[in-house]
Amino acid sequence: MADNMLERGSDWLEGMRTTHMSSPVEYRRPPATEPMTVNATFGRTDIEIADEGGTTIESHVWDFLILAEELTVGEPEPGDVIGANGRQYEVMALGDDIKGWRWSDPYRQTYRIHTKDIGAAT
């Protein structure tokens, strides 16, 4: 049980998000062939990349918010694959973030995993 009111509130919010705003997805770490089913909330992160000439490219990556306790393989790694809605998404590094994820909350309960769409599920 959480020690303080803010942490208890964060626990409650994460539980409500997972219960009411998530969908089951398949998480796989290649080369393992057996995916695990976890609950994920879909999100996106907008990014801007500027080259040396001053040209700015705006884009976005698809994010998945997954409770750390549900991801039994440990921390997400670039190259992991998430299957959702008939598509596959590969965990990828984003800018200086070489891990491909960050914590979504101050109490480190939920991963915000950055991905790129790699095509239809086979």
Amino acid identity of 98?
Answer: I
State the Cα–Cα distance between residues 96 and 117, nearest whole angstrom.
20
99 in Cβ contact with 49 (< 8 Å):
no
- Of the listed ranges 14-18, 60-64, 101-105, the least confidently predicted one is 14-18
pLDDT over 70 (residue 2): no
pTM for the complete prediction?
0.83
State the Cα–Cα distance between residues 49 and 2, nearest whole angstrom.
40
Distances from the Cα of 8 to the Cα of 54, 71, 106, angstroms: 46, 21, 12
State the Cα–Cα distance between residues 102 and 99, nearest whole angstrom.
8
Domains of the chain: total: 1
Burial class of residue 115 in the structure, from the number of CB atoms within 10 Å of its CB (0-12 exposed, 13-18 middle, 19+ buried) = buried
Q: In this predicted model, which residue has the larger pLDDT, 58 or 83?
A: 83
Report the pLDDT averaged over residues 36-50.
89
pLDDT over 90 (residue 118): yes
Report the pLDDT averaged over residues 86-103.
88
pLDDT over 80 (residue 96): no
Structural domain boundaries enclosing 96: 5-120
pLDDT digits (tens, 9 = 90+) for 46-71: 888 888 888 888 888 899 999 999 99
